[in-house]
Amino acid sequence: MRYTIDMVALQTSPETKERYRHAENLLEHILAKKFPHMEDLYFLYGDLAPDMNQAILLSYTNPSFKPGRVRVVDDNAPTLLSDMQILSDKDHDFKKLYSYFAPQIDRDELKRFGQEEGYQIIRKEVESAVGQNIRNIYGPYADSVINTSSLALLYKLNRKANISMVTHWLGVSGIIYCLQREGHITVDEENRYFLPTAGFHHDGDEEFPHIVKDVDGMPYGIVGTPRFEQKYISEDRNLILLMRLVTNIYSSVLKQAYKQITNAKESFTPESLKDFLKEDVTETDTKTYWMPKVKRKILMALEDGSYEDMKDQQLFSAVNWAMSKRYQRRIVSKCEEEQFKGAKHPRGLYLKYSDLGYNFIGRDGLSDEDVIKNLLKVWFMTSATKASSIHDPLIDKFSQEMINDIAVYSRFTIIKDLMSPQASTLFYYSTFNSKILKLQPILYTDRSI
């Protein structure tokens, strides 16, 4: 585990190390559902110690709190994904690309142009400024990277940390690139550009078809996704299939539904979503990908009745979060199938773990809620992989690294709250409800997916 600067500072600084030790000890007692040591409580909370003691004991009565075997942090766990991210940050070509794309978050001067003209202007700029760096990394697929990078700048696709989305795609492909360069993934010279390119395009079908317009001036949408792929990404069938595997197709369907329903000035409700999902996909070229069964699975998720009182963004977020588990199961299942047919590597999982690893490294710009969702996504993927028939030494290392990293971070974010000098009983209940309860699958080892 590579501890962050914030973690090391709180653990070692003369001003905070004693508070950290007492808060860590308090967390151990909470996780074990034991009576807190009053010494810890008085050190942390002074005169409020008796009140905090009562609040903690009362929280133990919450029926959702189900302590089990506490997960032990392994300081000797692999650090391969973060090692590769550091190496890619030091690589000459990736450094040039990061510095070029990261600040380009608002190209308002292009508003006066139509899509095609604005796209061509940016594309020429990208080619001129960093075209050679892109070709060094992506080889014969470089044009596709230039295409989608240009579209991302044109449509202001940015990360929540207020940098261009292109940096995330570079980060994922950078991990894959360095895994190959350092010999962790073996490929022949002819195919060395394939996986980094697939890593770069891993989100391509999820975002672009809903905003990029076709020759008729309409967004490509779900049914037009193959046409979008052919024009802007590649005609390489193997690349497209791998990219589709790691694309969250459920999220893409939900985004299309949300946009179509709200553009019609309707509320996004369970009923309007069901109506959308019952519409048939009729274009022949989409049936191999945007299959009706994707819509049927979302419809099935809506049938449990838990979404009936939700609407608009709340409903979208809730259903999208629920379907993320199916999405991750789909990747694992497909890699199992490919392995059974003789595939040498579970390439879809290489890409997905690189994606999760890079997201975890870049978590600091996210809200607490988004961070917790990302932590749980990692837990689910590692659990789904462990429960599968996939046997791959590299995936084993990724799983060990990621589950350990999220365990360390989950504990740290709770300890940091318990350390707060401004802590009160209300503050404790907030931490208990929003973090301890939600992070139980990570804090304990006996939770099943």
CB atoms within 10 A of CB 419: 19
Top mean-pLDDT range of 2-6, 27-31, 244-248? 27-31
What pLDDT score does 285 carry? Answer: 41
- Average pLDDT over every residue of 254-260: 89
Identify the pLDDT of residue 256: 85
* CA angle (354, 251, 352) in 5-degree steps: 10
Residue 284 has pLDDT above 50, yes or no: no
Mean pLDDT of 27-41: 97
How far, CA to CA in Å, does 307 sit from each of 317, 321, 322? 11, 12, 11
**What number is the average pLDDT over the span 416-440?**
92
For residue 346, which of 306, 299, 308, 381 has the smallest C-alpha distance? 381
Mean of the pLDDT values across residues 16-39? 96
pLDDT given at position 280: 58
pLDDT digits (tens, 9 = 90+) for 146-161: 999 999 999 998 887 7
Closest CA to 409 of 446, 372, 377, 437: 372
Q: Using CB atoms within 10 A of its CB, is residue 299 exposed (0-12), middle (13-18) or buried (19+)?
A: middle
Residue 159's pLDDT is 84
Average pLDDT over residues 320-336: 93
For 382-400, the pLDDT digits (tens) are 999 999 999 899 999 999 9
Average pLDDT over the chain, rounded to an integer: 91
Residue 1 pLDDT: 56
Supply the pLDDT for residue 90.
Answer: 97
Task: Give CA separation, 267 vs 1, 221, 264, 312, in Å.
Answer: 46, 20, 9, 6
Q: How confident is the model at residue 295 (pLDDT cuts 50, 70, 90)?
A: confident
* pLDDT bracket for residue 223 (50, 70, 90): confident
Query: Which pLDDT score, from 0 to 100, does residue 225 have?
Result: 87
The pLDDT assigned to 92 comes to: 97
Percent of the chain with pLDDT over 90: 69
Average pLDDT over residues 183-203: 92
- Predicted local distance difference test score (pLDDT) of residue 136: 97
Are 384 and 327 within 8 A, CB to CB? no
Q: Can you give the pLDDT at residue 2?
A: 66
- How many angstroms separate the CA atoms of 347 and 180, rounded? 12
Q: In angstroms, what CA-CA distances link 79 with 36, 180, 192, 411? A: 34, 16, 23, 18
- Quickly state the pLDDT bin for 224 (edges 50, 70, 90): confident
pLDDT at 254: 92
Share of the chain above pLDDT 70, in %: 96
pTM, full prediction? 0.91
Measured in degrees and rounded to the nearest 5, phi and psi for residue 425 equal -60, -40
pLDDT band (50, 70, 90) for residue 288: very low
